[in-house]
Each structure stands twice: as C-alpha cells, then as structure tokens.
Amino acid sequence: MKKLPFLTLLVLFPAFLFAGEGMWIPMLLQYNEKEMQEMGMRITADDIYSINHSSLKDAIVLFGGGCTGEIVSDQGLLLTNHHCGYGYIQRHSSVEHDYLTNGFWAMNRDEELPCPGLSVIFLREMRDVTAQVLDGIDIEMAEADRQAKVDANIKKIVAAVEKETAYKVSVKPFFLGNEYYLLLEETYTDVRLVGCPPSNIGKFGGDTDNWVWPRHTGDFSIFRVYADKDGHPADYSHDNVPYKPAKHLDISLKGADEGDFAFVFGYPARTSEYLPAVAVDQEANVIDPIVVDLRGKVLDIYNKYQEQDPKVRIQYASKHAGIGNGWKKWMGVTEGINHFHGVEKKHAFEGEFQQWVVGARNRYMYLDLLNQFKKNYKELEPYQLAYTYVAEAGLRIELVSFAGRFAKLSEVTKDTPQDDIDKSVASLKTAAESFFKDYYQPIDRDVAKMLLAEYLKAQPADFRPAFLNDIKDVDDYVDKLFDKSMFTDEAKVNALLDGFKAKDAKKLANDPAMKVYQSLIGFFRNEVHGHIAAIGSDNARLQRLYMKGQMEMQPDKRFSPDANFTLRVTYGKVEGFKPKDGMKYKHFTTLEGIMQKENPDIYDYVVEPRLKELYINKDYGRYADKDGTMHVAFTASVHTTGGNSGSPILNADGQLLGLNFDRCWEGTMSDLIYDPDICRNISVDIRYVLFIIDKFAGAGHLIDEMTIVE
Ligand code: ARG
Ligand code: GLU
C-alpha cells in the first residue's frame, strides 16, 4: 500500500490545530507561551499560572458549581454573569423587593445579602500524577481490573497529599484517561450578593437573542467573598471579613480592536473533540435533529398560548428558556457540523489514522478500533433513540413527569414508617404548590397530543413503552388521560396528601398519568438503560485508546484535553465573522443597538428609562469607546463552552476586557469540532458593566475598589 505523504495531513487539518482552538491546562501553559506571545500577548505563562508567586489564577473561581467568577478588588469583590447569579437574586426577591425586575445595589457592606448554598472554589495548585495513577496498569488489562487499580492508586495518592495540606485534594482524568492531574482547592462558603442590574439590562434580549449575534445583554452580577479574620474559609458569620485575594484583576478601559489578542480563563464544563466520525454523525444528524424538532414543536405551542395571555407568558417563561436554550444550541450544532463538513473531515482523518496503524507492527492494538466504534455506535443507535423519545416526548408532558414525582409515595406499604411517609408528603406538598403555580393545562394537553402522535409515528411498536400500544386515537386518549388523572387538579392532589396513609398509595398507583409514567420508566430501565451503559463503557475504553493513538501518531502536535470542569486557558483574537455568504458580522455592538431593538410591548426588549436618558445625553463618562459610542458586547475566536459563563476575557496585558456569557449559535459545534471561521464566543464589554454600575446605578463606591487602567 502506498504511504500517504505527510502533506496530506496538513491539507486536511491545516497545522492541525487552529489558533483559537484548545482548552489549555494552566500549569502547562509554558508550551503555549510562544504562540500566545506571537499572537500579541505581552505577559508570560508564569504571570497567568504560578505556584511560587501570585498570578492571575488566584483571581479566578468556580462560581456556584456551574459558572466562572473573577475577583476584581482586594476586598474580595467578584464579577460573574447575571444568568449565573440569577437563582440567588431570585431567592432574595419578593413582591416588595423585586430585585430581578428592579436590580439591587448594596450601598455599603451591611446591605450585602448572604446567599446560603452559594460557594466559590479557588484552585491553589495542580500536579501531574499520571505516572503514579497508571502505575501497574497495562494495556491488556480487563477494563474492570484497570479501573479498580486506577481507583486504588488515586486513593493512595490523595491520602498521602492530604497529610501535607489543608486544601481539598482530588485527582481527575484528562485526555480520556491517558493523563491524571491532582488538584488542590479551597472552597469559600460565605459569598454575598452586592449588586445586579434590572433584568431589562442583565437579561436584555432574553431568550429571543439567546445564542444569537448581534447581542446587547448586560449579563453581569456582583458578589463578595468573605473569610474569617485569618482569611480562611468560614461559613456565614457577621464577624467574617472581606476576603483578601493573592491577586485581583486589573480592568482596562481601552477596549479591544479587531485582531487583538484575547484569552479566557475559566471553568469549561464538557467538550468532546476526539470522537470518531460515527459518533459525531449520530449526534449531529440523528439525535440532535429529533430533539430540535420535538422541542421546536413544543415551543410553538408555548408561544401560541404565551402570546394570548400575560399570565401564561410569565408561567412558562422559565420552562421556555430551559427548553429553548438546548433547542437553539443543537440546531447550531447540526448546521455547523454540516456546513464545516465535519463528519467527512473526521472520516478523512480516520483514513490517515488507519494508514498509520498498519505502518508498524507495534500499533496492533489500534487495528480494529475504528471498526469497533462503528459496530458500537450502530448497536447504540436504537437505544439512544429510545432514550431520546422517553425524555423528550414522554417525560416532556408535564402531567406525566409531575405524576412521576409521586412514584415513591405510590409504592409505600403498611410497613413503611409513617414518619417517612410524612416527610415525602411534606416535600410533595411544596412541589405541588410550585407545579400548579406555573401549570396551564391547555398547553400541556396540546403538547401531549402532539408529542404522543410523534412518538407513535417514530418508534417501532415492538420497541417502545407499552402504554403507546393501547392508543387508538391520540386526541381522545390524551383527553381521557387528562380528564381522569387527579394530577391535573390541585385540590384533589392536596386532598389526598392531607393525612396521607399507606392505604392511599393505591390511589396514586392507579392514576392513569402514573401508569403512563411507570410504563415509560419501566421501559427505559428494563430495555434501554443497561445497553446504553454497557456500550458506553466499552466506548470509553475505545476513546481512551483512540486518544492515545492520535497522540502517538502526531508527536509534534500540541493536544488540548477535553473540558472537564477544571480551570483552563483558551485564547484567540477579538474578531467578527461571516455567518453566511454575503454577510459579515462586526465584532462589537453599542448602546445604539439597544435603542434599535427597543420595544415596550415585547418583554425581552424593554429599555429602562434611566438608560435611555443616559443614551440621549451621551453621558458615558470615561466608559465610552474612543469612537465616542458606548460598546456593549463583543465577539472573539476563543474556544469556550458551558461553564465559561462569567469567565473573564483578558487582553494582551492580562487586564479584564469583559465577561464571557455565550456563543454564536452558528458555531456551537465547537463542543465537537472547532472551526475558526464560525466559532465565536460573546462577552459583555467591561466598560458597559462599569457604566451601568457607576452612571446607571450610582454605585461608584464599587468602582473605587477596583483597579482601573485608563
Ligand atoms: N446560552 C447561554 C448559555 O448557555 C445563556 C443562557 C442564559 N440566557 C438566556 N437568555 N436563557 O448557556
Ligand atoms: N451560557 C453558557 C453558560 O451558561 C456559556 C455559553 C456557552 O455554552 O458557550 O455556561
């Protein structure tokens, strides 16, 4: 067989790695330093991550377990996104103090609001422990034995390090289990709400603009981290003092021009850049389109009713947001993968890989890898589809998933202690109250009719939940289900819960909505889950091997491990993009655009009167751009994903330019394949953030704490 010249590789994957691609481990950043500096960076890798002196990493936290935050003063002041602080703002809001609607600004430390349950985590140190974790592992080992050995090694390592430190110690796999890193972390649990803009600013554009450029969202909120007198983590106490970080971020008022170097420092949650073509194809062309189609139809029904009635609009706002976020994202994944010919490119690469494998005898372990992937994914597909319909069609019916909350209670017997029963009853009463507050039965009926019709059309009679086979006429079936079930009726549910005894369980179990729920879950448990788990575990083994093979095949390539909720640096340039032939997106938006979008009748586009006044008077102070306008948001070719919300985007000097909060939907395939032409992250310009704090809210005392570089 003719050996392909090395050049072919370069043609298929120019330099293999695109500037902009990759989520880098901070402790290994010295390997990227040269490229970063060539792109314009004026600081060093050591300024970003060091364990010998303070560095930017000391200012970055994992916020609330799902977002990123950064410290911007020596008094523990923290910035993150509005949508990251949302839940905490909501918990402090009431009709009298509606902070979501009106915003909130603590004018002194005493006004700052404790947020029970909120914590931030600082990474103190990272160590490569690959050799110790893989000690005694060899490639021929059975998977279970391997895992047991890895777990035992990790336990030993953690126990040893715990003796020398007060920090929390953990070990996480990187490169799909080919490398392991130890993390030393410190968790602060006294974090207080300091300020947030009204939703008309912090959520401007709402779900309509979500994932979309041009964007005008002031997506920020402000918190403060507190510590005990010695600076150590402590639970909330009035005696706690503001946390003094080893480092806080400087803030630049200069903004960024197109082409400027920029980097994001934060906690990306999950990416899968090294999947085989079959996996990407299945996700982008089989599963995602079904989810998008079903969710789109659900959203159409929501929209119809939400437009008719303002009360329903509010009731379904958060459900709409949740369903809509994934809907738009996965639409972008499919579009992007196909536009980029992602599957074909992966196939072409796999051709190269196979050539490489047969090129030497000691690569025998990779020989059948791609075939096994193909076989596994083919086998997986019907189960994956079955799971998709259970989740997106069956359980999407609110009546059915609500009934499911009572499944445990429906199984109690006379032997169950009344105490346990009372406990579940109490929590179900709360659940029922919040369910009915936001439940509008006509929507759910329409959704159920639509979804069950789709379910019947799509899934084979011999491989689907049994209840579907009893349906003759969908509309009639759904009407009867809703008429007969008690779970549509708040009074009936409460009447049953009041003084609930074991003998009442039968009434729950016999409810028709409960039976639908049990049929769905039983089918999933008995016929689907085991297969997905078994194939998934074999795929994990293949993935690890494939990753290893790719690294051996390209010894000169710098690989970045998939995101796994650990601290990463990603970098690129501030730039716009061309979403389609004939179109070019600029890299920034301005307050002008907020005025263009203004529509007092559309919830997402209401402009605050005070903001309008500042706009009319052009009262931007030192926060205006050199072009005289107020910049609101900007895009960059920096590789980000969920979890990067709230992450700082920094300039060549490591100064804060803005807060990352989203991506453009055309490039959401970057979780699978990064394409520098269309993958863009979106950040709110820090100057807009400061302008809102200072000019809009009159909370200039917060700015005084920060280090501003003019
Ligand atoms: N799309 C962004 C992220 O995944 C922001 C979501 C919150 N914003 C919204 N308008 N729903 O998750
Ligand atoms: N909005 C996302 C988040 O909440 C970040 C955007 C993305 O997925 O890139 O984490």
The span from the CA of 661 to the CA of 129, in Å, is 33
For a substitution probing ligand 2, which of 325, 641, 681 has the most ligand atoms within 8 Å of its CB? 641
Distance of CA 662 from the midpoint of ligand 1 (Å): 7
647 lines ligand 2 (CB under 6 A): no
For residue range 625-660, list pLDDT tens digits in order.
999 999 999 999 999 999 999 999 999 999 999 999
Q: What is the model's pLDDT at position 1?
A: 38
For residue range 192-230, list pLDDT tens digits in order.
999 999 999 999 999 899 999 999 999 999 999 999 999
Radius of gyration of the chain (CA): 27
Q: What is the model's pLDDT at position 317?
A: 83
pLDDT, mean over the chain: 95
Task: Please tell me the residue having the least CA distance from ligand 1 atom 7.
Answer: 83
Report the atom number in ligand 2 closest to the C-alpha of 640: 9
Q: What is the model's pLDDT at position 11?
A: 40
- The number of the ligand nearest the C-alpha atom of 683 reads 2
Task: Please tell me the residue having the least CA distance from ligand 2 atom 2.
Answer: 642
- Residue 16 above 60 pLDDT? no
Q: What is the model's pLDDT at position 19?
A: 66
Report the atom number in ligand 2 closest to the C-alpha of 329: 8
Q: What is the model's pLDDT at position 17?
A: 47
* Percent with pLDDT over 70 in the chain: 97
Q: Hey, which residues are catalytic here?
A: 83, 219, 645
Q: What is the model's pLDDT at position 18?
A: 53
Task: Please tell me the residue having the least CA distance from ligand 2 atom 1.
Answer: 662
What's the mean pLDDT in 334-348?
A: 96
506 burial level (CB within 10 Å; 0-12, 13-18, 19+): exposed
Distance of CA 642 from the midpoint of ligand 2 (Å): 4
Q: Which residue has the higher pLDDT, 307 or 598?
A: 598
For residue range 283-297, list pLDDT tens digits in order.
999 999 999 999 999
Lowest model confidence (mean pLDDT) among 207-211, 316-320, 441-445, 631-635: 316-320
457 burial level (CB within 10 Å; 0-12, 13-18, 19+): exposed
47 lines ligand 1 (CB under 6 A): no
For residue 182, the cross-strand partners are 127, 171
Task: Mention every residue, 6+ apart, whose C-beta is less than 8 A from residue 451.
Answer: 294, 297, 298, 393, 394, 396, 397
Q: What is the model's pLDDT at position 171?
A: 98
The candidate with the shortest Cα–Cα distance to 255, out of 681, 632, 594, 702, is 632
Helix (H) or strand (E) holding 252: strand 250-252
Dig out the tokens for 544 from the structure.
């690890």
The span from the CA of 246 to the CA of 57, in Å, is 9
Q: What is the model's pLDDT at position 20?
A: 76
What's the mean pLDDT in 271-285?
A: 98
For residue range 465-493, list pLDDT tens digits in order.
999 999 999 999 999 999 999 999 999 99
Distance of CA 322 from the midpoint of ligand 1 (Å): 9
The span from the CA of 134 to the CA of 131, in Å, is 5
Task: Please tell me the residue having the least CA distance from ligand 1 atom 12.
Answer: 642
- Residue 14 above 80 pLDDT? no
What's the mean pLDDT in 515-526?
A: 98
Helix (H) or strand (E) holding 80: strand 77-80
For residue range 667-700, list pLDDT tens digits in order.
999 999 999 999 999 999 999 999 999 999 999 9
For residue range 372-425, list pLDDT tens digits in order.
999 999 999 999 999 999 999 999 999 999 999 999 999 999 999 999 999 999
- The number of the ligand nearest the C-alpha atom of 639 reads 2
Q: What is the model's pLDDT at position 8?
A: 42
Distance of CA 85 from the midpoint of ligand 1 (Å): 12
Distance of CA 329 from the midpoint of ligand 1 (Å): 10
For a substitution probing ligand 2, which of 67, 570, 644 has the most ligand atoms within 8 Å of its CB? 644
The span from the CA of 539 to the CA of 560, in Å, is 20
For residue range 583-605, list pLDDT tens digits in order.
999 999 999 999 999 999 888 99
For residue range 66-117, list pLDDT tens digits in order.
999 999 999 999 999 999 999 899 889 887 888 989 999 999 999 999 999 9
For residue range 172-181, list pLDDT tens digits in order.
999 999 999 9
On whether the CB atoms of residues 390 and 452 are closer than 8 A, the answer is no
Q: What is the model's pLDDT at position 5?
A: 41
Q: What is the model's pLDDT at position 601?
A: 84
